[in-house]
Structure 1
Amino acid sequence: MLDFVIFWDWASFAVRWLHIITAMAWIGSSFYFVALDLGLKQRPGLPKGAYGEEWQVHGGGFYNIQKYLVAPEALPEHLVWFKWESYMTWVSGFFLLALVYYGSADLVMVDRNVLDVSGTTAIAISLASIGVGWVIYDLLCKSKLGDSPTLLMLLLYGMLVAMSWGYTQLFTGRAAFLHLGAFTATIMTANVFFIIIPNQKIVVADLKAGRTPDPKYGKIAKLRSTHNNYLTLPVVFLMLSNHYPLAFGTQFNWVIASLIFIIGVLIRHFFNTGHAGKNPPYWTWLLAGILFIIIIWLSTVPRVLTGEPKMSMQAERLVADVHFEKVRDTVLGRCSMCHANEPSYEGIYFAPKGVKLENDAEIAEHAEQIYINAGRSHAMPPGNVTQITPEERALLVAWYESAR
């Protein structure tokens, strides 16, 4: 059993590494082509059908790149298709989702205080939501809304906000953010697999058959590519968020996720504008910074906004001075069954991240982690499996803050 646990842990690490490698390749090529497309310049003497060109220097050499809006008159023998980066990012991401979340769904996905379901049901909800998301998005794009890109983008944002809230009503905070990222990334990869690449293949087939390609296929692919461009940075944030409990484990986590999508769009707008040869809108960074400050505030928002009484400073000092024994009892009763030399919780064989909380010294040593993970956020215990109460969380907050 121990060997299997070690293998499972290393398998998760290996798939995570593969996921990062493929994501870097996909994001890198995507960002490069967006920048290239926006930087194209027109000049007299371009080949027939060429829209523009750009000169670039890299690695000691010069590159002259030309773009055809539809296709060149004669198709070259060899074409490089940028698709496997996207496909493998999704495949490796799904395997990682299965290994880390589906493999321990009862522990890391289900919060019975949010939705009391079995791990199997949680997995079914996960799969259905990810698939249905693409179907709804695709139908919106294929409707008449496809002729109104701005309105379509606003509706897409509305759908993402709804899913941000919806996932927090189904799963633990950590799993909710991860699923929101998977939901969005699935739309992006499906755009490549079902729309962009097939449309390009239609154009290639027409050229080989001697037909004039219909420019509508390029227009459709361009719309989906633009969506992918603006969704990339929020997905990266959501995938990284599982390491930061203050993002996913707080009362207003779905609002935080919603604001992250806006920040991602602002940052991409800055770079896209600059790549197009225009003056970069530096105000986007200021607005993004303001929104991020709001996110920081939302992660530890005053309890008065949630309807819970805020503890006074005097009360905090009293808790810290008089009730440390209660803090210790809370940690030992709610945390130490996993965070121990020999964990007693079923399925846990090593103290998570090596954090042990079995005595006063260890509790004091990890006070900040206890404060962030179990006090200020609800990241720990996962899914609140040990049923820590709001009063106990408030006690942990008071103990740490009064001792600083």
Structure 2
Amino acid sequence: MESYLMDWALMLLRWVHVITVIAWIGASFYFVWLDNSLEKPEAPDVLQKGVDGELWAVHGGGFYNPQKYLVAPKTLPPNLHWFYWESYSTWLSGFALFIALYLMNARTYMIDPQIWDISETTAILLSLGFLAGGLAVYEAICRFLGKWPWLVAGALTLLITVASYLATHVFQGRAAFLIVGAMLATMMTANVFLWIIPGQRKVTAAMRAGEKVNPIYGQRGKQRSVHNTYLTLPVLFAMLSNHYSMMYSHSMNWLVLVLMMLGSVLIRQFFLLKHKKKINWYFPLSGVAIMVAVCIWIAPKSQAVQAQDTADVSDAQMMEIVQARCTGCHATQPTLMGGPAPKGVVLENVEHLKQHDNSIFIQVVQLKAMPLGNITHMTDEERTLVSRWYRTQNGQP
């Protein structure tokens, strides 16, 4: 019953996280599109109010006329809608999931003895260090290089590359990808919490007090908002990639992560320019080309069959390996982890093995992604036996 209730709690928490992500990214994408789509008003009365850009739109049977003021209207309305809880709720729910799924199961999901055999406490502290350290370096970049956007972009790219390399050489690939994504998400939420909202509050307070507004707050908010726009797709990729082992199990998984993030930024750039009615196909084509190249590069390679590896492996031999290395997780009642078997794959008898033989071959032999973090210490000789069993099942030499 305890495991069942925990599954319910995790499901609801993940649901909340997805909902808040949609709300935050949806609002962010909308305002970026709106800001880039505004046109200079022509009506004298509108210009007199201080409106710098406006847009007419139709949606849901109604007409809308959003307007952006050069600084702010002469008189602020009593009720202003603020956009920040979407960001805060996304980070809080995501961090709660990170604690429940990874930090509380560090031995299973974060540590790979073949990469670095560290204690659970060390793994937890290092993962939190990535979040805090990444934010500290990012803040330094913005403070010292903020006047030069291209230098900021280059330094941020270097930060992500170094973080990806270090993370994949400390944690198992699945956790490394997620931690890099969480680091970027922390930077994004910090932009809202430390700069965008405080700056807007100071501007609002100055206006209500009849004081002159310092333009630096708007400039800083705009800078951080632009950064968040470019980081959105890389973060989403990092978060979703942990469901696809071919991404994080490659020997150069850090470069896979960096290239896929780069491709997503190039595609995002196309849409940002398109909002301004500037069509440049170089960006999406380059992004897609990078992703196709990665797809070809990391594709599982056919393994040469050695003469001594051609003997058939019986179901009994295969079952013995699976019981020793796999059923700790892939069972009706797993003993190595809480909750049900991953992806519902149960391997408790020969029929189960034959039902999932292709997935077993890909995950165990080609990708070597399972057992997760090789927690049960499967040997290369056992992987060879799994390969031979698979070929026997499928009539391959």
Is 1:337 the counterpart of 2:328 in the alignment? yes
Shift of 1:38: 0.4
Paired position in structure 2 for 1:369: 359
Tell me which residue corresponds to 1:306: none
Residues 201 and 246 (structure 1), Cα distance of their counterparts in 2 relative to 1, 3 Å cut: same
CA displacement at 1:240 relative to structure 2? 1.1
1:287-302 aligned within 5 A: 287-300=286-299
Q: Evaluate the alpha carbon distance shift between residue 320 and residue 99 of structure 1 in structure 2; reply closer, same or farther with a 3 A threshold.
A: farther
Verify the 8 A CA contact 2:6 2:339 in the aligned structure 1: no
C-alpha distance after superposition, 1:94-153 (max 9, x if no partner) = 00101111121111111122121121221111112101211110111011x101101101
Residue 5 of structure 1 is matched in structure 2 by: 3
SS for the counterpart of 2:72 is coil
Of the three residues 344, 350, 372, the one matched with 1:360 is 350
Which TM-score applies when normalising by structure 2?
A: 0.91
Q: Encode CA deviations 1:383-403: one digit per residue, 9 max, x unaligned.
A: 211111344435545665784
TM-score (normalizing by structure 1): 0.90
Secondary structure class of the residue paired with 1:136 = helix
Give the match for residue 160 of structure 1: 160
In the alignment, residue 353 of structure 2 is paired with which amino acid?
A: I
CA RMSD of aligned residues (A): 2.2
For 1:104, the equivalent position in structure 2 comes to: 105
Q: Which residue of 1 aligns with 2:15?
A: 17
| Residue of structure 2 equivalent to 1:203 | 203
User: Helix, strand or coil for the counterpart of 1:160?
Assistant: helix
Report the alpha carbon displacement of residue 285 of structure 1 after superposing the two structures with TM. Answer: 2.8
CA contact (8 A) 1:250 1:300 kept: no
- Matched residues in 2 for 1:110 and 1:390: separation? 19
Q: In 1, Cα distance between the equivalents of 2:124 and 2:343?
A: 25
Q: Distance in 2 between matches of 1:262 and 1:225?
A: 19
| CA shift digits 1:166-205 (9 cap, x unpaired) | 1111111111111111001000000000011111111111
Aligned to 1:192: 192
Checking the alignment, whether the CA contact within 8 Å between 1:375 and 1:393 is kept in structure 2 is: yes
Q: Given the alignment of the two structures, is residue 255 of structure 1 paired with residue 255 of structure 2, yes or no?
A: yes
Between Structure 1 and Structure 2, how many residues are aligned?
390
Structure 1, unmatched stretches of 5+, are 303-309
The equivalent of 2:32 in structure 1 is 34
Counterpart of 1:290, as a letter, is A
Q: How far has the Cα of 1:20 moved from its partner? A: 0.2
Report deviation, 1:346: 4.3
Distance 1:341 1:36, change over 3 A: closer
Equivalent position SS for 2:23: helix
SS at match of 1:243: coil
Cα–Cα, structure 1 residues 311 and 151, in superposed 2: closer, same or farther, change >3 Å? same
Contact 2:311 2:388 in 1 (8 A): no
Q: Does structure 1 conserve the Cα–Cα contact (< 8 Å) formed by 2:110 and 2:172? A: yes
Q: 5+ unaligned residues in a row in structure 2: which ranges?
A: none
Instruction: Choose 175-184 or 104-113, whichever is displaced more.
Output: 104-113
Runs of 4+ in 1 over 6 A off after TM superposition: none
SS in 2 for 1:370: helix
What is the identity, as a one-letter code, of the residue corresponding to 1:14?
A: L
Displacement after TM superposition at 1:30 (Å): 0.1
Question: Cα distance 1:134–1:349, how it changes in 2: closer, same or farther (>3 A)?
Answer: closer
Instruction: Determine if contact 2:326/2:347 at 8 Å carries over to the other structure.
Output: yes
- Name which of structure 1's ranges 132-141 and 350-359 shifts more when overlaid on structure 2: 350-359
